[in-house]
A and B are shown apart, each in its own frame.
Chain A
C-alpha cells in the first residue's frame, strides 16, 4: 500500500519534471500553438475555407440535383419524399453543429484557446440556420404526409428546443459587450446545453408516449435503394463541408472585429 503510494508519487513527480515538458515540446503542441496564433490562422484559413467551399457546393448541388431529379419515385410517398435531400442533411448538421460548439467550448474553457472561443461564437448562427432549415423543411414535408404542419412529436419538439438553445447562445453573445467574456460565456452555455440535449430528447420522448399514443402513423421505413441513398450521402457530405466553410468564414469576420485594434489587423487593411 505504502509502496504503491510512494511509486505513484514518484511517477507524478517524474511527470511534472519531464513528462509535461516533453509533451509541450511535441510537434502537435507546437502546431496547435502555431495554429492558435491569430494572424497565422487568418492567413491560413482563407485557402482552407475555399478548399471546403468548392467541393462542398459541388457535392451539395450534385446531391440535391440527384435527389430531386434522378432518384426514383418513392412507392409510398411519391415525389414528396424528395425534400428529404435537404431535410436530413440540415437535421444532421443541427446536431453536429451544436456538438462541435460544445467540444470547442470545453476546449476554450480548459485551455483558454482563443480560436476555440471564436469557433463557438461563429458556428452558432450557422448551426441555427441549419436547425431552422430542418424545421421548415420538416414542416413542409409533414403537411402532405401527416396532414398537418406541426405535430408535437418527440423529434420535432427536441429539434425546436435545440433551436432555442442556439438562439440562447447567439442572444448571450449579442448581449455581453466585452468580446472576450461574451465568447467565454457562450462556450460555457454550449457545454451546459450539450449535457442537456440527450436529457431533453429522452424526456420529450417519454412525455410524448405518456401523453398520447401515436395518432400519426409514421410511414414504415423501407431500406433505402442505392439510387436514393447515394445522392443523400453526397448532399450530407456537401452540406457538412459548407458548414465548415461558412463557419470558418464567420470566424475570420469575428476575428477581425475582435482584434480590430491590434497591429496585424490594421496591417491587413492597410495592405489591402
Chain B
C-alpha cells in the first residue's frame, strides 16, 4: 500500500517537473493577481495592509480552482485513471498521493512566494512566519476538498464555473481561519488559535477526503 503511494507520488512529481513551465504559471498567476490589485484600490499602504489577508487568500483560492481542473484530467484522458480504479490497490491511497504531489507542485510555491508578496503589500515582517504557517496548513486542505469536486466533474468537458460553485462554499472554513490567522498576525494579536483550527481541518481532510475522492472517481468512471 505504501509502495503504491510512493510510486504514484514519484510519477506525478516527475511529470510535474518535466513541465516546469506549468509550475512557473502558478507563481506568475499569484504574482499577477497581487500586483494588479493595488492598481484597483490605490496604493495607500493602510488599505493594502487591511485587504492583504483577503487578497492573498482569494488569489490562492482562485489559483487552486484553476489548477485543480488538471488534477485528474490527463490521467482520465490517457486511461491511467481507469487502471487505478481497476487495480486491487486502494483507490483512496492513490488519490491521497496524487493530491500530495499536486500540492508539492503548486501549493508549496504559494507558501514559498508569499513572504515576498505580503512584504510588497506593506505587511510587517513580524507577521510573515504566521502567514507562511497559515498557507502551509491551509493550502493542502484546499487541494483535498477541491479534488472531490474535480473528481465529480471529471467527465464534463468544461467544468470550470461549475467547479467553483461546488467547492467554494466548502472552502469557507479554510478562508476564514487562514485569513483570520493572517489578520491577527498583522494586528499583532495571537494567531495560534486559528492555526490550530487550520491544522484540525487539515487532519480531518487527510483522514476523510481521500475516501470521498475515491468514491467520486468511481462514480465518474461508471
Contact = CB atoms under 8 A, between A and B. Distances in A.
A210 interface: yes
A185 B173 contact: no
A185 B159 contact: no
B222 interface: yes
B169 A199 contact: no
Contact of A188 (B168, B170, B212): B212
A206 interface: yes
Given A172-B152, A172-B153, A175-B156, A200 B219 contact: no
Nearest to B169: A164
Nearest to B177: A203
Given A161-B169, A181-B222, A189-B152, A109 B215 contact: yes
Contact of A207 (B156, B159, B162, B176): B176
A113 to B, nearest CB: 15
A161 B166 CA distance: 11
A206 B176 contact: yes
Contacts, number: 76
A172 B166 contact: yes
Interface in B97-141: none
Contact count band on B: 20 to 34
A203 B172 contact: yes
Interface in B196-222: 197, 201, 208, 212, 215-216, 219-220, 222
A189 B172 contact: no
Contact of A180 (B152, B155, B222): B222
Contact of B219 (A165, A184, A203, A207): A184
Contacts of A207: 176, 180
B165 interface: yes
A172 B162 contact: yes
Interface stretch (A7-15, A55-63, A190-198, A235-243): A190-198
A164 B166 CA distance: 8
A204 interface: yes
Interface residues of A, number: 29
A199 B220 contact: no
B180 A210 contact: yes
A172 B155 CA distance: 11
Contacts of B176: 203-204, 206-207
Contact of A161 (B162, B172, B180, B215): B172
A185 B177 CA distance: 29
A171 interface: yes
B165 A185 contact: no
B81 interface: no
Contacts of B197: 203, 206
B153 A196 contact: no
B146 to A, nearest CB: 11
B148 interface: yes
A253 interface: no
Contact of A185 (B180, B201, B208, B220): B220
Contacts of B208: 195
Given A109-B215, A175-B153, A210-B180, A184 B169 contact: no
A167 interface: yes
Contacts of B216: 185, 188
B173 A203 contact: yes
Contact of B172 (A172, A191, A195, A204): A204
A216 B218 CA distance: 48
Nearest to A186: B152
Contacts of B201: 199
Contacts of B220: 181, 185
Nearest to A208: B176
B169 A188 contact: no
Interface of B: 148, 152-153, 155-156, 159, 162, 165-166, 168-170, 172-173, 176-177, 180, 184, 197, 201, 208, 212, 215-216, 219-220, 222
22 contacts: A164-B168, A171-B165, A172-B166, A175-B162, A176-B156, A184-B219, A185-B152, A185-B216, A185-B219, A188-B148, A188-B215, A188-B216, A189-B166, A192-B170, A200-B169, A203-B172, A203-B176, A203-B197, A204-B172, A206-B197, A207-B176, A210-B180
Given A168-B169, A204-B172, 11 more contacts: A171-B166, A172-B152, A175-B162, A184-B219, A189-B148, A189-B152, A191-B212, A196-B170, A199-B173, A203-B176, A204-B176
CB-CB nearest 8 A-B residue pairs: A203-B173, A164-B169, A207-B176, A203-B176, A168-B166, A184-B219, A185-B152, A168-B165
